[in-house]
Amino acid sequence: MFCQLDQVKQILDMASAVKNILKEERFLNIDLDRKSCSILYGLLLLKDYDVFIQRGTVSFEGREFPHHWTEIYLDGEAFILDINLVSSAKVENRSEDIYFMPEEDAVKDYGYQALQEYGWKKEDCQREIWQRVLKELNISKNVDQVLEEIEEYSL
């Protein structure tokens, strides 16, 4: 039987794989938050999770910054799933890590403010990155097949 603890493990395994791959890209690319959301959204959607990409702001160092993150519903409760690949000694409460917490805690502790839902776009993340994430998760499907399935489910 697949329980909520199994769901959390599955979600964190996916997030960890995405973080590991994007960590190698962080000095070469911008929009890493959008790339991570694109992959996480797709992987979670294919596993039948109720998932959305949110565009809004996150607060740290007393300022708001534009940001994208994944919002996932488990048993009707909203959770924020986010991968931060920027660490700063100045920011005590925001380090390089995976953030997975109830939405109300994310708003209170990290200043997440959703402005609008962001639609999944295949072009938000390169095929090569998708390929590496699928390999890390031991998913043997072809990248194009995975992207087509996500596109179909996203409609």
Q: Is 67 exposed, middle or buried (0-12, 13-18, 19+ CB in 10 A)?
A: buried
Write the Ramachandran bin of 111: left for phi over 0, alpha for psi from -120 to 50, otherwise beta.
left
64's enclosing H/E stretch is strand 63-74
Chain mean position to CA 153: 17
Q: Which residue type occupies 53? A: I
74-111: pLDDT as tens digits? 999 999 999 987 654 444 455 668 999 999 999 998 89
- Pairing between β-strand 97-102 and β-strand 50-60 as defined by DSSP bridges: unpaired
Are 126 and 39 spatial neighbours (Cβ–Cβ below 8 Å)? no
Cα separation, 19 vs 5, in Å, equals 21
Average pLDDT over all residues of the chain: 88
25-84: pLDDT as tens digits? 765 556 788 899 999 999 999 999 999 999 999 987 788 889 999 999 999 999 999 998
pLDDT at 95: 60
Cα separation, 8 vs 81, in Å, equals 11
Question: DSSP string covering 66-122, please?
Answer: EEEEEEEEETTEEEEEEEE----TT-TT--SEEEEEEHHHHHHHH--EEEEEE---G
Per-residue pLDDT for 148 more than 60? yes
pLDDT at 91: 45
